[in-house]
Amino acid sequence: MKAIRVHEFGDPQVMKFEEVDDLHPAAGQLTVQVKAAGINPVDTYIRSGAYVLKPPLPYTPGMDAAGEILEIGDGVTRFKPGDRVYVAGNLTGAYAEQLICGENQAQPLPENVTFEQGACVYIPYATAFRALFHKAKARPGETLLIHGASGGVGVAATQIARAAGMRVIGTASTDKGKQLVLDQGAHLVVDHSQDGYENEILEWTGGRGVHVVLEMLANVNLKRDLQLIALRGRIVVIGSRGAIEFEPRAIMGKEANIVGMVIMTTPENEMAEIHAGLVAGLANGTLRPIVGKTFPLAEAFKGHSAVMERGAYGNIVLTA
């Protein structure tokens, strides 16, 4: 089979498309014929060598995929060959024609969801679900600011929050991205690249501010978020790409709760709860992953450049 292999950390061009051995599962594992793999920003941080976790070289990137089960190992009871699945983490890398994952890393992919959409479920949707319900303890009727709503996590959060009865404000920086955010159900969209968008948010909330912020770029926005939240508001730091200086008194004054998360460290019982919610939402059409761009597996390097560019539009997917 073919796979992307990284032999040294570096720029997107270090990803090489190579012939490698077919994969066979051990006990408790599955081999999946990958139809589509999702690209997430974290894949680029790992590939560059800048991330806290560095896989031993060479390695195949990718945590998100969807496909059909090729072979099951001894003791596997939930799946059989031919079943459609989405994969939430894996043991061998998703940017490949085949991958191996543990039985508990695979989830059934409902018939109404394409493989390309299935490749966008784990990191974007599980992160949005965990940020909203496990971290922010979001409630119906509350007002939510999704600071970065046009990308993978933001689109997922918009759909989930609307289904849960929240009032949703999303941000984006292009006309296409802003329209996407509205199409996913946001009540208001503002442009985070324009000065003064904070005033639009405060006006829309009658000066009270928002109950919850999901923050995709904390190094740019955390100080601003503390102005935008209501008293006892909650801010979930999902993404950050640098340092920020601000006055901690702002946290005291708002009795604010700032909480961080990393989806890969979610406890198993809480991840099971997340997947139960996601599989149900996919099956009933509440959750509709948006595939903004696709590239052939061999051109993974193009996807890694695209995911770091401004003007996000849902997810970027590799097709095998």
**Contact positions vs ligand NAP (CB under 6 A):** 40-42, 123-124, 127, 147-154, 171-174, 177, 192, 216-217, 220-221, 238-239, 261-263, 307, 310-312
Q: Which is nearer to ligand NAP, 232 or 310 (CB)?
A: 310
Q: From CA 258, how far away is CA 280, in angstroms rounded? A: 30
Residue with Cβ nearer ligand NAP (250 or 306): 306
Angle 59-130-138 (CA atoms, 0-180°, nearest 5)?
160
Minimal distance, residue 144 CB to ligand NAP, in Å? 14
CB of 49 to ligand NAP, least distance (A): 16
DSSP string, 163-224: HTT-EEEEEESSHHHHHHHHHTT-SEEEETTSTTHHHHHHHHTTTS-EEEEEES-HHHHHHH
When the beta carbons of 89 and 177 are compared against ligand NAP, the nearer one is 177
Tokens, residue 235: 């801010």
Is the Cα torsion angle 131, 133, 138, 143 positive or negative in sign? positive
Minimum CB distance to ligand NAP, residue 99 (Å) = 20
Report, in Å, the least distance between residue 292 CB and ligand NAP. Answer: 8
Residue number of the CB closest to ligand NAP reads 151
**Residue 125 CB, nearest approach to ligand NAP (Å):** 10
State in angstroms the smallest separation of the CB of 75 from ligand NAP: 30
Is 115 in contact with 36 (CB distance < 8 Å)? yes
Whichever of 92 and 150 has its CB closer to ligand NAP, that residue is 150
Nearer to ligand NAP, 47 or 192 (CB): 192
Nearer to ligand NAP by C-beta: 238 or 318? Answer: 238
**Tokens linked to 262:** 């990393």
Q: Which is nearer to ligand NAP, 179 or 319 (CB)?
A: 179
CB of 63 to ligand NAP, least distance (A): 10
Find the shortest distance in angstroms from Cβ 126 to ligand NAP.
Answer: 8
Nearer to ligand NAP, 24 or 246 (CB): 246
d(CA 271, CA 250): 33
Other beta carbons within 10 Å of 51: 14
- Segments of 20-83 assigned E as strands: 29-39, 64-72
Q: Which of 63, 66, 64, 114 is nearest to 86 (CA)?
A: 66
CB of 104 to ligand NAP, least distance (A): 19
Determine contact, residues 210/201, Cβ cutoff 8 Å: yes
AA identity, residue 305: S
* DSSP, residue by residue, 225-288: HHHHEEEEEEEEE----S-----THHHHHTT-EEEE--GGG--HHHHHHHHHHHHHHHHTTS--
CB atoms < 10 A from the CB of 245, how many?
A: 7
Question: Quick one: 98 or 171, whose CB is closer to ligand NAP?
Answer: 171
